[in-house]
Amino acid sequence: MAAARRAFDDPTGWSAWAPEERAECLDRLADALEKRAEQTVRLVSEQNGMPISVSSRIEGGFPGAMLRYYAGLVREQPVETSRPGMFAGTTRVHREPAGVVAAISPWNFPQTLAAQKYAPALAAGCAVVLKPAPETVLDAKAVAEASLEAGLPRGVLNVVPAEADASAYLVGHPGVDMVAFTGSTAIGQRIAQICGPLVRPVTLELGGRSAAVVLDDADLDLSRAGQALFGAMLINNGQTCFLSTRILAPRSRYREVVDTIAAFAGSLTVGDPLDPATQIGPLVTERHRAAVEAAVARGIADGARLVAGARRPPELDEGWYFEPTVLADVDNSWDIARDDVFGPVLTITQYEDEDHAVTLANDSDYGLAGTVWTASPDRGLAVARRIRTGSVGVNGYLPDLGAPFGGVKNSGIGRELGPDGLAAFQRTKSIYQL
């Protein structure tokens, strides 16, 4: 924290550099990370069980892409703009960095979600103390090494691998100007409680239990839609905040949807995360698998019908494996439909008509993401606009680096990615020239 404070307060340091100079350094950081990508993605998969086919595409590519995106954005964005005063003179609106940022990232996409914080923060001119999750600290070393190679000034990016108590210390530290966090809603609420009395700005990207609204004209042929379903519902072993794990199916096609989703889940290859053919790897810890199993057991006890999975694969006796699981006939009021299970578990709930589907989709404590599945783009867009979440995909889901990402309700505060992600780490100052 002291190193970050010195780096930010240096009158000739990072925060005072011209945007072009910072952008050049971020481009070098992207190069340095990409040079380490093969080793980094293997470390990620070894630590959290992410299939290497997924980590190679996401963890190996997104951090560098984000750094280059924000480098380009600050090159284009003026530091100061002028507006005519409404009563007299001219007002200059000046953008300046927020200050020292405590960035706390999770274990599920450790490289990508850390970069969603430090890339825009560094581009804005902030100094960052990055606290990775205890489950994924080995790959965080690559970020520190890459920052040294790229020539970031001392103290501008600090990587602190530590246990959870270090996060609490950082959040409440008097030297912090802003907190950026991705993780569970419960921890996010505790962070908000700390930041509130301090009047400390915070962005919180939290949990979700997003709905997949399957309309009555949807094409669910697995030969065409299988990859899109996987990316929207089960990628990274179901350990992804935005996944549409709560499937809403029309009465007219309910049995077909149940059979299709069960077949889809059963078709996925479960195995060693370092095998490129694996689609579902082990969960991150034994404790987390136990929590997922307990949630499924509660759902079945409440009356859900098990149609796929809910087993530890007998042939995989080492590692925290759990088969992709599908529960049908789920009532939207049950815990299994409302809690953030964060594992390879899909529930299916029947709806009567389109209005009922939207009501069910919105009947959640969360509001992070969602999907709509339909043969009609216009119809899909109309339904997507009615779903109260931070983002919605039509016939698939893929976050866009150039568009804001974040949630409403218990899914968080603020936005990452796109110009909104940069603005989160900037403060505007009005200078009145009379």
What amino acid positions are annotated as catalytic residues? 205, 241
Strand, coil or helix: 137: coil
Name the residue among 321, 301, 290, 294 with its Cα closest to residue 49: 321
d(CA 266, CA 256): 15
Contact 202, 182 (CB under 8 A): no
DSSP per residue, 229-249? HHHHHTGGGG--TT---EEEE
Strand, coil or helix: 123: helix
Name the residue among 208, 151, 194 with its Cα closest to residue 17: 151
Contact 220, 183 (CB under 8 A): no
**C-alpha distance from residue 358 to each of 78, 241, 373, 405 (Å):** 41, 20, 13, 21
Which residue type sits at 162? A
Reading the block at residue 46, the tokens are: 């070894």
Contact 411, 366 (CB under 8 A): yes
**C-alpha distance from residue 371 to each of 187, 224, 250, 287 (Å):** 26, 17, 15, 30
Name the residue among 164, 182, 143, 160 with its Cα closest to residue 43: 143
d(CA 225, CA 432): 56
What is the phi/psi pair of residue 416, to 5°?
-115, 165
- Residue 172 has a CB neighbour count (10 Å cut-off) of 16
Query: What is the DSSP-derived secondary structure letter of residue 251?
Result: G
CB-based contacts of 251: which residues, under 8 Å, 6+ apart?
350, 351, 352
